[in-house]
């Protein structure tokens, strides 16, 4: 697969780390798909206007939570206040978060004239193994990614550590799996972490996924040799 080949080559560079930055993945996907890398804060990161397709791209280590977005919810303060008073208020705030996520995707779909949005994901495992997969997220006929009725919400307890105090987060519990899928840090920087994303990961042998290993550190190109190669390209 072209993506695996390019990434393996990238990891041999002396300045690479043990992860693949999102910007690198976006540029690579745009190259492979013959699309356009947007470089904005829209829901989609890469589009291919001719096929009316767009993709959101995520790249993290396996144990790093995916930040879905900084979710600045309309009427945030009013909803937070109501959520402190009743279960109905908590659910209303959670529903607003789900509505915000769906609306963000639909906005990109409308702005770029897309018929479908896909999800491209690179997972870097601790043993140097890497998984890449793609899945369909939304279509013009079925634009909603999440259903508000699938979740119940509750505020976490505020935590104190030696260095700082961690504010409460609003947790979205997926009813079917009974697991936390979302954590919205609306009392701080509005980050929406999507831990339920791991439920989208492919099973071993999935035809829609590719697994490969990064080259060991010993096979990386030395900085001196890398500079020599650059000098040859410039000459």
pLDDT of 93 reads: 98
pLDDT tens per residue across all 235 residues of the chain: 677 777 777 777 766 667 788 888 999 999 999 999 999 989 999 999 999 999 999 999 999 989 999 999 999 999 999 999 999 999 999 999 999 999 999 999 999 999 999 999 999 988 778 899 999 999 999 999 999 999 999 999 887 666 666 789 999 999 999 999 999 999 989 999 999 999 999 987 887 788 888 777 677 676 566 566 556 666 5
pLDDT of 4 reads: 77
Instruction: Give the predicted TM-score (pTM) of the model.
Output: 0.86
pLDDT of 203 reads: 87
Tokens linked to 55: 């993709």
Domain ranges of the chain: 19-213
pLDDT of 112 reads: 97
220 in Cβ contact with 11 (< 8 Å): yes
pLDDT of 228 reads: 64
CA-CA-CA-CA dihedral for 139, 26, 201, 216, to nearest 10: 160
212 in Cβ contact with 8 (< 8 Å): yes
């Amino acid at each position: 697969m072209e993506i695996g080949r390019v990434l393996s080559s990238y990891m041999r560079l002396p300045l690479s780390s043990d992860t693949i930055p999102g910007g690198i993945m976006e540029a690579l996907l745009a190259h492979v798909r013959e699309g356009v890398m947007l470089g904005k804060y829209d829901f989609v990161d890469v589009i291919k206007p001719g096929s009316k397709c767009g993709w959101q791209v995520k790249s993290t280590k396996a144990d790093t939570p995916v930040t879905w977005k900084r979710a600045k919810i309309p009427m945030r303060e009013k909803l937070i206040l109501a959520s402190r008073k009743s279960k109905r208020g908590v659910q209303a705030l959670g529903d607003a978060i789900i509505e915000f996520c769906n609306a963000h995707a639909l906005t990109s779909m409308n702005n770029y004239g897309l018929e479908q949005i896909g999800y491209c994901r690179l997972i870097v495992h601790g043993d140097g193994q890497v998984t890449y997969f793609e899945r369909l997220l939304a279509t013009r006929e079925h634009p909603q990614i999440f259903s508000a009725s699938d979740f119940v919400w509750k505020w976490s307890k505020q935590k104190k550590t030696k260095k700082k105090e961690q504010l409460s987060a609003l947790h979205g519990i997926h009813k079917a799996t009974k697991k936390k899928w979302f954590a919205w840090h609306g009392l701080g920087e509005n980050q929406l972490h999507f831990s339920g994303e791991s439920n989208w990961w492919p099973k071993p042998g999935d035809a829609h996924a590719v697994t490969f290993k990064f080259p060991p550190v010993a096979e990386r190109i030395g900085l001196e040799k890398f500079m020599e190669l650059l000098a040859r390209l410039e000459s």
